[in-house]
Amino acid sequence: MNFPLASPSSSSDPSSLSAYGWDEGFAESFTPFAGQGFVPGRIVRVDRGRVDAVVPDAADGGDAVLAGGGVRTVLADTALVATSDPMRVPCTGDWAVIDCANGRAGDHLDGVVRALLPRRTAFVRSTSSKRSDGQILAANVDHAVIAVSLAEALDLGRIERFVSLAWESGAQPLVVLTKADLAGDPAGLAHLVADAGSAAPGVRVLAVSATTGEGVEALSAALAGATSVLLGRSGAGKSTLANALVGARVQDVQAIRDQDGKGRHTTTTRDLLVLPSGGVLIDTPGLRGVGMWDAQAGLSRTFSDVEGLAEECRFQDCAHDAEPGCAVQEAVQEGELPQRRLDSYRKLQRENQRIVAKTDARLRAEIRRDWKQKQALGRHMMERKRGPQG
């Protein structure tokens, strides 16, 4: 596929990498490599040990002149930065140090990736609930756009999961309810927006229809001038939305399967696309599962209402189950906090704790100790409830 390059209307400096997010901070990180014949480039696609990256058009082995000329896409080998650590492999959105003077014509390579610049943010998920490996879906992202299709029942638990990981990544989450034209009347749509908002305190929720154009302009304005990643399950309409935001058919789109209503994996790689309004968008493949990955801070922010209530509990280590003076259970009983949200909070906390414990022996010991203490407390409470025997 051809990556759309910057146009005069998309950046105040369209002839440089600024349209792709290059700024003084990244330029400072590149300083140790300046004067060595290398150029900076942003990775727009990763595929089997090679990456496509945009570099200054003047990249001919000399120093990068970011304020002169345009940009071009090069194919670069990543063997020099290869690692067994999945958290350090090149990823779409990374800024790389590229040697364009050592490409291999026989392999159709334009250069070699010498190093990756430090990441500001990274959206990470666990690869499997049975393993402790993380997978970086996108790097150096400002906005995490969570696409949720209104063609099916709203899954608030999935929204809470994505939002927690988005907060943890360092990006600003944004929930987009796609296929808004299928929601029916405006009142019904407003109700769905409110429901989604209840699962994501402090997060903006937009209803968008790529078919009618509803909400596309507002979303485009929200993403202007920044790097955004588009996330969601297959069939959420991400590729259609990407096309609407870019203003051209840059991503293939397939219909939802009739037999189960699920989407096909139209996008198979993570691609970085330039938006006409400024900024870039990383479109990702549909995600069937998104496991938690050391996201305690993200969970605390997503469930700030639950944790705010927990601070009012009588006991500091309250499990919010049957303890006396539990402010959380009181809020549930009075209808102030949905039981579903408390259940989701507990589920994601347990999952996150399991993932962290797999890589932290000290935490594993603490969990075992805490579990034994709760078992002893449970036995004690049962004995008190039963009263004296005999």
Question: How many whole angstroms separate alpha carbon 98 and alpha carbon 91?
Answer: 14
Residue 258: the pLDDT is: 38
Question: How many whole angstroms separate alpha carbon 99 and alpha carbon 70?
Answer: 18
On whether the pTM is more than 0.95, the answer is: no
Is the Cβ–Cβ distance between 179 and 151 less than 8 Å? yes
Residue 131: the pLDDT is: 56
Distances (CA, A) of 112 to 16, 105, 301: 21, 12, 40
Q: What is the mean pLDDT of each run of 10 residues along the chain (390 residues)?
A: 36 60 92 91 92 79 47 92 90 95 72 95 78 83 96 94 95 97 91 97 96 94 95 88 86 46 47 90 81 90 96 90 90 96 95 80 55 55 55
Residue 63: the pLDDT is: 44
Question: How many whole angstroms separate alpha carbon 160 and alpha carbon 341?
Answer: 9
Per-residue pLDDT reduced to its tens digit, 310-340: 999 999 888 888 788 999 999 999 999 999 9
Residue with tokens 């727009």: 44
Residue 226: the pLDDT is: 95
Q: What are phi and psi of 164, to 5 degrees?
A: -60, -45
Distances (CA, A) of 116 to 77, 84, 188, 385: 13, 15, 47, 61
Residue with tokens 């920044």: 226
Exposed, middle or buried by CB within 10 Å (0-12, 13-18, 19+), for 237? buried
Return the DSSP state at 255: P
Distances (CA, A) of 377 to 46, 94, 325, 380: 52, 49, 16, 5
Handedness of CA 143, 196, 167, 52 (dihedral sign): negative
DSSP result, 118-183: PPS-EEEEES-TTS--EEEEEES-SEEEEEEETTS---HHHHHHHHHHHHHHTSEEEEEEE-GGGS
Question: How many whole angstroms separate alpha carbon 185 and alpha carbon 190?
Answer: 9
